[in-house]
């Protein structure tokens, strides 16, 4: 059997990643995710004043800086023994939801659906519909997504000044309170976003769509009217399933989520947890079981996995020795877990996603479908958040913690970012930051092998994939983009006898 | 006018801000066909980076505008291996593309000056394209000029202001000359201070300074605000069409400046006595102190009581 490695470019993801894939008779038999960028944030933070992390960590990620800010402020508040007032918590949750919503919309309609306009689908019966809706910068859903995602982010600007990269969540609360005018502005933006979703994405009322509670109910709904079939979601589903995306890209069965609201004050939303895919059981989250391996990473080696409290990030670029990435390998206990909207909704026991996962297992279509499903839940949750905010608008938005010198201590901040579970682990000593470890959602999903040799989630989701045309393997684009990578991703195929650089 | 947008050591924040531009929006800019976007790591779908690179380097297509987003990582030990594309250091690709580009634009403080990654201890040995913080040089060297004769245009900001990015692109694409300031920033957008248009100005005027975050007063004396020293249009052309950091009670962190982020507590203003060490641009200390004393005495009750909404 001829074994070979070929190379493919892949963009429309965030950040830097390459994947090496070994092929035997056009079937992927092995895959290695390669993080190609090291930026040194954890080192930059050491020795700085604790609150500086509110400025530095949002800049880890331009698309989910609000989530990083939230994780930082929660870690600081743990150490300082600070309870933020609920006025502040509602504003924080609202802004996090707005950021996640824009990311879900942009990822779906700017990064994922353009693949349906790929030349290899020229003869597909839905190709013209796909072009009309999804062509980059031209399709009507793509244009609507650009406009609507800008609108959603105005909500963050109303309370935080700007998006991306502001630092309005501070220990003790937020820097600006809600008032009648801001609340009203935000309400109209949520309503306009909902209207666009109903008109262009769902082709139906949002509440009707959220009430669908099983796979059969969903598929019946989909076929029951032209409006459902032809709107963005219907077209995405019909196109995906016509090319078999519901049976491609199965990764690890285990899921992890930090929950829709980091610290629910008035209930609601999806709770944090771990879903054991072998036992089909959701367990409460225990962050002490999270550990990171570096056996296949370009960092100073240590044996086994370490909890982020005892973790270290010392770059050490060694070629060979099985090391191939700037990413570490996070594990939950000894389990490889995937994170993102699918995990969030399944762990939250959302009926439709729970049913679809049980019926077909995790797959490329379902991950993307779950992202839009979460977007719809998020729009509704934002409206509820604004109601809750209105009820406590006269309470303080900030209570001065009165901390001149930060006490020694350790604190973690766990937040569900757009791409899933995001954790910050911070240690303060002598009034300054002594250690800072960040485990991003993509670190879970794009992790390399661990000390036991278990491949990461994406690596596993590619193994077994048959490439109909290894010269132009558009399937890899679908599978990888359905994971919503936060890394510019290049899949490497180096031919044994020739080099090919097909385009995805 | 062909445009290539490349990311180096970046967070994608400038690209995300670009999608938020409103005057003009990115899609309006591209609808005009000038510039034509050949490659963007998040946004284009027709071609792959290698094919674009080959076509440009073989001279089959001109590279009119090269936008770089992100710090230029030269480490470890000068190898550039902290940031690679197909095992090639990105800094080598940037040097190659810059040598054939008509205009090079640094989108954001990272590409302009090094940015957040260059903060102490600069673990990746990164730099900006033509400056390392305030020092001329950077990756390309002080003498470098693009095909059109200009140095790198530094659209600094962390991220760069959305509308400044699209306006500079529109101007370059239309052949409008771009005057630069001392740090090679487009003077048209960097001759305004963040302070100008800040809705807390009246508090600043009467020396009504807040000691803790979350209030309505001015953030300059105690909370690290650098608005009176930092060039940029954040309070003249609002972010996301709505607001700005200082309006929302977040101190201006000076993110358009070459030394961003400064190596000190970012939420504390360094002072000499009771007065900030760094004063509003160009003001003499003695006169400023005299003015502040008078202003404080003239402050109306509504300001002292923080009655006014910023």
- Are residues B239 and B280 part of one domain? yes
Which of A12, A157, A175 has its CB closest to that of B240?
A157
Residue B86, domain extent: 2-188
Question: Worst-scoring range by mean pLDDT, A32-36, A145-149, B83-87, B172-176?
Answer: A32-36
- Are residues B208 and B155 part of one domain? no
State yes or no: pLDDT of A395 exceeds 50. yes
Predicted local distance difference test score (pLDDT) of residue A494? 27
- Closest by alpha carbon to A55, among A44, B73, A63, A158? A44
CB pairs under 8 A between A and B: 227
Query: CA-to-CA distance for B65 and B98, rounded, in angstroms?
Result: 9
Last residue of a domain, one of B134, B163, B188: B188
Query: CA-to-CA distance for A53 and A55, rounded, in angstroms?
Result: 5
- Are residues B200 and B182 part of one domain? no
B101-107 vs B153-155, strand pairing mode: parallel
Predicted local distance difference test score (pLDDT) of residue A491? 33
- Contact between A136 and B43 using a beta-carbon 8 Å cutoff: yes
DSSP state of A297: B
Residues of chain B with C-beta less than 8 angstroms from the C-beta of A504 = 48
Predicted local distance difference test score (pLDDT) of residue A1? 56
Q: What structural domains and CATH numbers belong to chain A?
A: 3-492 (1.10.645.10)
Instruction: Write out B199-250 in H/E/C secondary structure.
Output: CCHHHHHCCCECCCCCCCCECCCCCCCCHHHCECCCCCCCECCCECCCCCCC
Residues paired with A20 in a beta bridge: A32, A492
Last residue of a domain, one of B139, B161, B188: B188
- Are residues B196 and B142 part of one domain? no
Angle ∠(B10,A66,B194) on CA atoms, nearest 5: 75
State yes or no: pLDDT of B269 exceeds 90. yes
- Closest by alpha carbon to A82, among A47, A50, A42, A49? A50
Residue A300's pLDDT band (cuts 50, 70, 90): confident
- Are residues B248 and B202 part of one domain? yes
- Contact between A315 and B249 using a beta-carbon 8 Å cutoff: no
Predicted local distance difference test score (pLDDT) of residue B85? 87
The string of DSSP codes covering B66-129 is EEEESBEE--STT--TTBEETTEEHHHHHHHHHHHEEEEEEESHHHHH-GGGGSTT-TT-EE-S
pLDDT tens across B186-225, in order?
Answer: 999 999 999 999 999 999 999 999 999 999 999 999 999 9
- Are residues B222 and B98 part of one domain? no
User: Binding-site residues of A for Ni(2+), please?
Assistant: 61, 64, 486
φ, ψ of residue A478 to 5 degrees: the values are -60, -50
pLDDT tens across A228-287, in order?
Answer: 999 999 999 999 999 999 999 999 999 999 999 887 666 568 999 999 999 999 999 999
Residue A500's pLDDT band (cuts 50, 70, 90): very low
What is the value of pTM for the model shown? 0.96
Question: Worst-scoring range by mean pLDDT, A126-135, A137-146, A303-312, B260-269?
Answer: A303-312
Residues of chain A with C-beta less than 8 angstroms from the C-beta of B244 = 161-162
Burial B89-115 (b: 16+ CB within 10 A, else e): bbbebbbebbeebbbbbbbbbbbbbbb
Predicted local distance difference test score (pLDDT) of residue A498? 27
- Are residues B202 and B297 part of one domain? yes
Nearest-neighbour CA in chain A from B290: distance (Å): 30
Among B3, B10, B12, B218, most A C-beta atoms within 10 A, so best to mutate, is B12
Number of domains in chain B: 2
How far apart, in Å, are the Cα atoms of A138 and each of A118, A349, B5, B26, B235?
A: 15, 37, 20, 12, 32
- Are residues B279 and B165 part of one domain? no
Q: How far apart are the first and last CA of chain B?
A: 43
- Are residues B200 and B117 part of one domain? no
Using DSSP's 3-state secondary structure scheme, residue A328 falls into: coil
Predicted local distance difference test score (pLDDT) of residue A318? 72
Cis bond before residue A437 (omega within 30° of 0)? no
Query: CA-to-CA distance for A285 and A302, rounded, in angstroms?
Result: 26
Which of A36, A158, A501 has its CB closest to that of B242?
A158
DSSP state of B36: E
Nearest-neighbour CA in chain B from A71: distance (Å): 17
| CATH code of residue B216 | 4.10.480.10
Query: CA-to-CA distance for B209 and B207, rounded, in angstroms?
Result: 6
pLDDT tens across B223-241, in order?
Answer: 999 999 999 999 999 999 9
- Are residues B256 and B163 part of one domain? no
Q: How far apart are the first and last CA of chain A?
A: 26
pLDDT tens across A442-477, in order?
Answer: 889 988 999 999 999 999 999 999 887 776 678 888
CA dihedral A389, A391, A397, A402 (to 10 degrees): -130
What tokens appear for B116 in the block?
């957040």
pLDDT tens across A402-436, in order?
Answer: 999 999 999 999 999 999 999 999 999 999 999 99
Last residue of a domain, one of B153, B169, B188: B188
A8-9 vs A489-492, strand pairing mode: antiparallel
Residues of chain A with C-beta less than 8 angstroms from the C-beta of B25 = 146, 150
Residues of chain B with C-beta less than 8 angstroms from the C-beta of A404 = none
Which of B213, B247, B309 has its CB closest to that of A161?
B247
- Contact between B7 and A400 using a beta-carbon 8 Å cutoff: no
DSSP state of B273: T
State yes or no: pLDDT of A388 exceeds 80. yes
Predicted local distance difference test score (pLDDT) of residue A10? 66
Predicted local distance difference test score (pLDDT) of residue A22? 87
Residues of chain A with C-beta less than 8 angstroms from the C-beta of B165 = none
| CATH code of residue B140 | 3.40.50.700
Averaged over A93-110, what is the pLDDT? Answer: 97
Name residue, tokens 């303060």. A428
- Are residues B160 and B119 part of one domain? yes
Nearest-neighbour CA in chain A from B98: distance (Å): 21
Predicted local distance difference test score (pLDDT) of residue A426? 94
- Contact between B19 and A150 using a beta-carbon 8 Å cutoff: yes
Residues of chain B with C-beta less than 8 angstroms from the C-beta of A156 = 240
- Are residues B157 and B139 part of one domain? yes
């Amino acid at each position: 059997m001829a074994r070979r490695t070929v190379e493919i470019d892949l963009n429309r993801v965030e950040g830097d990643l390459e994947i090496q894939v070994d092929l035997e008779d056009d079937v992927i038999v092995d895959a290695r995710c390669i993080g190609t960028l090291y930026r040194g944030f954890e080192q930059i933070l050491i020795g700085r004043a604790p609150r500086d992390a509110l400025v530095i960590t949002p800049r880890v990620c331009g698309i989910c800086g609000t989530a990083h800010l939230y994780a930082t402020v929660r870690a600081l508040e743990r150490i300082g023994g600070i309870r933020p007032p609920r006025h502040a918590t509602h504003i924080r949750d609202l802004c996090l939801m707005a950021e996640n919503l824009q990311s879900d919309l942009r990822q779906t309609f700017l990064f994922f659906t353009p693949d349906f306009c790929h030349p290899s689908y020229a003869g597909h019966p839905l190709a013209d519909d796909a072009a009309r809706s999804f062509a980059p910068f031209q399709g009507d859903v793509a244009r609507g997504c650009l406009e609507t995602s800008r609108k959603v982010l105005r909500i963050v600007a109303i309370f935080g000044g700007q998006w991306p990269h502001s630092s309005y969540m501070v220990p003790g609360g937020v820097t600006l309170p809600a008032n009648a005018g801001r609340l009203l502005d935000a309400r109209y933006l949520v309503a306009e976003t909902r209207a666009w979703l109903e008109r262009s994405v769902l082709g139906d009322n949002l509440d009707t769509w959220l009430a669908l509670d099983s796979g059969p109910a969903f598929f019946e709904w989909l076929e029951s009217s032209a409006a459902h079939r032809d709107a963005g979601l219907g077209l995405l589903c019909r196109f995906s399933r016509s090319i078999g995306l519901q049976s491609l890209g199965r990764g690890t069965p285990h899921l992890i989520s930090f929950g829709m609201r980091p610290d629910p004050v008035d209930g609601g939303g999806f709770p944090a947890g771990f879903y054991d895919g072998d036992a089909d059981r959701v367990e409460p989250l225990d962050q002490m079981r999270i550990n990171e391996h570096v056996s296949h990473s370009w960092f100073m080696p240590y044996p086994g996995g370490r909890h982020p409290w005892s973790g270290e990030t010392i770059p050490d670029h060694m070629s060979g020795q099985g090391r191939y990435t700037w990413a570490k390998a996070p594990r939950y206990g000894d389990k490889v877990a995937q994170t993102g909207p699918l995990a969030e909704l399944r762990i939250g026991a959302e009926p439709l996603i729970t049913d679809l996962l049980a019926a077909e297992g995790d797959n490329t279509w379902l991950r993307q479908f779950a992202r839009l499903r979460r977007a719809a839940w998020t729009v509704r949750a934002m409206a509820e958040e604004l109601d809750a905010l209105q009820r406590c608008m006269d309470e303080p938005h900030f209570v001065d913690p009165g901390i001149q010198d930060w006490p020694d201590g350790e604190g973690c901040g766990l937040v569900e970012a757009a791409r899933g579970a995001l954790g910050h682990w911070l240690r303060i000593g002598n009034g300054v930051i002594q250690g800072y470890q960040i485990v991003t959602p993509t670190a879970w999903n794009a992790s390399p092998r661990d000390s036991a040799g278990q491949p990461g989630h994406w690596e596993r989701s590619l193994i077994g994939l048959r490439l109909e045309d290894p010269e132009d393997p558009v399937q890899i684009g679908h599978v990888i983009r359905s994971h919503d990578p936060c890394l510019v991703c290049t899949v490497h195929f180096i031919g044994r006898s020739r080099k090919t650089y097909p385009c995805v | 006018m062909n445009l290539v947008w490349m990311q180096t050591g970046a967070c994608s924040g400038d690209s995300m801000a670009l999608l938020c531009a409103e005057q003009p929006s990115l899609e309006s800019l591209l609808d005009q066909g000038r510039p034509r976007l050949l490659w963007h790591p998040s946004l284009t779908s027709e071609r792959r980076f290698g094919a674009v690179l080959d076509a440009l380097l073989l001279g089959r297509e001109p590279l009119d505008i090269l936008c770089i987003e992100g710090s230029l990582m030269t480490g470890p030990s000068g190898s550039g291996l902290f940031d690679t594309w197909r095992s090639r250091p990105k800094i080598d690709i940037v040097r190659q593309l810059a040598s054939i580009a008509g205009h090079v634009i640094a989108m954001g403080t990272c590409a302009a000056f090094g940015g957040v990654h260059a903060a102490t201890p600069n673990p990746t040995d990164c730099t900006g394209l033509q400056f390392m913080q305030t020092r001329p040089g950077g990756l390309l060297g002080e003498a470098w000029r693009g095909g059109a004769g200009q140095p790198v245009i530094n659209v600094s900001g962390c991220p760069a202001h959305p509308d400044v990015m699209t306006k500079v692109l529109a101007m370059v694409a239309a052949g409008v000359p771009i005057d630069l300031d001392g740090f090679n920033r487009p003077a048209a957008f960097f001759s305004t201070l963040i302070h100008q248009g800040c809705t807390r100005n009246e508090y600043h005027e009467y020396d009504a300074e807040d000691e803790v975050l979350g209030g309505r007063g001015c953030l300059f004396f105690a909370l690290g605000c650098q608005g009176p020293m930092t060039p940029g249009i954040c309070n003249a052309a609002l972010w996301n069409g709505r607001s700005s950091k200082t309006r929302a009670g977040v101190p201006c962190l000076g993110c358009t400046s070459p030394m961003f982020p400064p190596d000190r507590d970012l939420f504390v203003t360094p002072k000499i006595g009771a007065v900030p060490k760094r004063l509003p641009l160009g003001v003499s200390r003695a006169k400023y102190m005299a003015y502040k004393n008078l202003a404080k005495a003239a402050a109306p009750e509504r300001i002292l009581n923080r009655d006014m909404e910023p």
